[in-house]
Structure 1
Amino acid sequence: MSQFTPDADWLHWHQSPSKPHYKPPAGAVDAHCHVFGPGDQFPFAPERKYTPCDASKDQLWALRDSLGFARNVIVQATCHGADNRALIDALQQSQGLARGVATVKPDISDAQLQHLHDAGVRGVRFNFVKRLVDALPFDGLKSIAERIKHMGWHIVIYFEAQELAELYDFFTALPTTVVVDHMGRPDVSKSVDGPEFQLFVKLMRENENFWSKVTCPERLSLQGPPHYNDVVLFARSIVEAFPQRVLWGTDWPHPNMKTHMPDDGKLVDFIPRIAPTVELQRHLLVNNPLRLYWPELQEN
C-alpha cells in the first residue's frame, strides 16, 4: 500500500482498456509513457505539483502486451522530480525492451549521467508548462544540453502553444536532437492554418533536428472521446509533413486528466486516422523510435 494518497480529483488509469481494432506493426514502440512509484518503494518528490496513484512497471508491461506493442519509452514524470530511481528500476527490469528520458539537474555528475546511460536513458526532459514546474534556469538547461550532446542523447521539451513564441529562440539554439511533446499542445479550437500552429510547423520545417510526438488527443480535444475528431487534422498534418521525425505513445497512465480517463485501446485505434498508410505507420511506430532509442538495432 502506498504511503501517498492521490489528489482528491485524481482519475485512476483505465482498469480494463479495450483490445484495439488496429494492429500495430511488428516491433511497434509506445514512445511516451510513465511509471509512478509505487510510492512505498519510490517516493514522490516533496516539490511535486500533484500526487498520483501508483502505476508500476509491471502494469505498464501488461498494457504494452495487451495493446500489441513490443517496446516502451518511459518518460520521467514530474511527480518524481529529478529522482529517477523508479525510471531506472523499470529500465533495468525491462530486458532491453524499454529506454528512458530522465529529468536531471545541472549539478549532476558525469558518473551519474553514465549510470543513467547504462540503465537505458537516452534523453532528458525540459518541462516549460508553468502549472507543473517552477521557473527554469535557462543557463542550467544550456549546460545540461551541452553535456548530454556528447552522449548522443536528445532533449524532450514540453510546453503549451501560446508559450512557443517566447521560447522559440532558446529552443532553436539547443545543440542536439529535440523532441516536442504532444505537438506543442495546440489549441484545437483554432485553425490548423492559423499563426499559432503554423509557428510550430515553422519550427519543425526550418530545424531538421526537431521531432514531434503526435500524442495525447485526449488532452487536446474539446470534442472528447472516443473519436477526438478535432485533433485529427493537426496530428495528420505533422505526420504527413515530417514522416521521419514523428513518434507516438499512449501517455499511460495519463497524469492530470480532469474530464475523463481515456481507453488506451481507443487511443491505438486513433493511429491510422493520423497515419493513414502502412508506410507512415511503420515510420511512426517502428523506424523512428528505433532510430532514436535503439540505433544499434538498425545498424545491419
Structure 2
Amino acid sequence: MMPTDKSLCLPEGACDTHSHIYGDAARYPACPGQQAESNATLDDYLGRAQELGIRRHVFVQAKAYGPDPQCMLDGIARLGRHRARGIVMACAALGQADMASLHEAGIRGIRYLFPQGAPVDLAAIGLAAERAAGLGWSLLVQAGGSELAQACADLEYMPCPIVIDHLGRFPAETGTDDKAFRTVVEFIANGGWIKLAAPYYGTPDGASDFNALSSRVHAFLDAGAERVIWGMNWPHPNLPAGHKPDDAATLGSLLDILRSDDEKHAVLVDNPARLYGFVPAD
C-alpha cells in the first residue's frame, strides 16, 4: 500500500459516487439484525472527503437502514443538491409517485444488490429501469462477475443507464482474457457503466490498491472512458474495525494508474456530473 503522505491532486469538482452515512441511533434506528457503523456520521465523512479534496458526493443508502433512506436524505438536504445526490436501495414498494418525491430530494438512482453466486433478477431491474428512465435516473447493480456476465446481454438494452458496481466483483485470479470479464468489457463498450470502488474485493491479498487491478481498469477505460466513475465506499461497512483501508492511499493508487489528465477528469468529474446531474460548477 502506498504511503499516505503522498499529495493528492484532484481536479476541481471531483466526485465520490459511493459512500454511506449513518446517524444517531435514536433518530435513525437500524433494522433488526443490522448494525450501523460507528464514527460514520455525515460530519465524519465530510472530514475525510475534504482531506482528500472531494467536492461532490453521491451517497448510497446504507443496508443497516433497510428500505428507509431518511438518514441519507437528511444528509443531502444539509449539503444541498448542488453538492450531493443519493441512490436508494431497491424496494418492491417503491412506486412512481415515491420516485418523483425522492427525485425532488436529490435521489438519482436505485441500487440492486445480489449475493455472490445469486442470479441477477432481470425482471425486477427491467421494471425499475422503465420508471427510472423517465426521471433520468440510473440503476446500480452489484453481483458476482460471472452472474453479471450472464445478465449483460439483457442489461445492455435497459432504457436507463446501468452501472456495474465494485469493478464487477471478479475474483482475484480473474485475468483480462477471462470470458466473463470480456463480456463485461463489451457491455461497457456498448453503453454500460462501471464503478471503480472497493478494490479489496478483487486483489489477491485483499489490499485496497488499484495498482494490482490496473489491467482491469485500463480495459474498462479503453472500452468506454466516458462511462467509468469512482467511489470511495466509505466507511467500508463489510470490513471490520481495525481493518479499514487508508482512503488516501487507495485513491492515490487509482491516480497512479490513470494514464492522463483527461482520464482523471473524466472518471472523477465529467462522468459523475453527467450521470447524476450535477451542474458544471458549484
Instruction: Please report the TM-score for the alignment, with normalisation by the length of structure 1.
Output: 0.83
Residue-by-residue CA offset, 1:104-137 (whole Å, 9 max, x unaligned): 4233243322221111111111112259xx9886
Q: Measured at CA, do residues 19 and 102 of structure 1 come closer, stay the same or move farther in structure 2, by a change above 3 Å? A: farther
Equivalent in the alignment of 1:234: 216
Equivalent in the alignment of 1:217: 199
Q: Measured at CA, do residues 20 and 81 of structure 1 come closer, stay the same or move farther in structure 2, by a change above 3 Å? A: farther
Mapping of 1:98-137 within 5 angstroms? Answer: 98-130=84-116
- The runs of 5 or more residues in structure 1 that have no matched partner are 1-16
CA contact (8 A) 1:247 1:285 kept: yes
Q: In structure 1, how many angstroms separate the alpha carbons of the residues matched to 2:201 and 2:120?
A: 24
Runs (4 or more) in structure 1 with deviation over 4 Å come to: 17-20, 134-138
CA contact (8 A) 1:232 1:273 kept: no
Say which SS state the counterpart of residue 223 (structure 1) adopts.
Answer: coil
Question: Percent identity of the aligned residues?
Answer: 29
What letter corresponds to residue 150 of structure 1 in structure 2? Answer: G
- The runs of 5 or more residues in structure 2 that have no matched partner are none
Q: Measured at CA, do residues 236 and 296 of structure 1 come closer, stay the same or move farther in structure 2, by a change above 3 Å? A: same
Whether 2:27 is the aligned partner of 1:41: answer yes
Q: Measured at CA, do residues 168 and 57 of structure 1 come closer, stay the same or move farther in structure 2, by a change above 3 Å? A: same
Query: Cα offset for 1:237?
Result: 2.2
Equivalent in the alignment of 2:133: 149
Equivalent in the alignment of 1:250: 232
CA contact (8 A) 1:156 1:180 kept: yes
Equivalent in the alignment of 2:144: 160
Q: Measured at CA, do residues 139 and 241 of structure 1 come closer, stay the same or move farther in structure 2, by a change above 3 Å? A: closer
What letter corresponds to residue 16 of structure 2 in structure 1? Answer: D
Residue-by-residue CA offset, 1:215-239 (whole Å, 9 max, x unaligned): 2112221134464542222112212
Equivalent in the alignment of 1:67: 52
What letter corresponds to residue 62 of structure 1 in structure 2? Answer: G
Q: In structure 1, how many angstroms separate the alpha carbons of the residues matched to 2:198 and 2:209?
A: 12
Q: Measured at CA, do residues 94 and 160 of structure 1 come closer, stay the same or move farther in structure 2, by a change above 3 Å? A: same
Q: In structure 2, how many angstroms separate the alpha carbons of the residues matched to 1:226 and 1:118?
A: 35
Structure 1 vs Structure 2 CA RMSD: 2.5
Say which SS state the counterpart of residue 237 (structure 2) adopts.
Answer: coil
Q: In structure 1, how many angstroms separate the alpha carbons of the residues matched to 2:220 and 2:152?
A: 18
CA contact (8 A) 1:145 1:175 kept: yes
CA contact (8 A) 1:239 1:274 kept: no
Instruction: Please report the TM-score for the alignment, with normalisation by the length of structure 2.
Output: 0.88
Q: Measured at CA, do residues 263 and 120 of structure 1 come closer, stay the same or move farther in structure 2, by a change above 3 Å? A: same
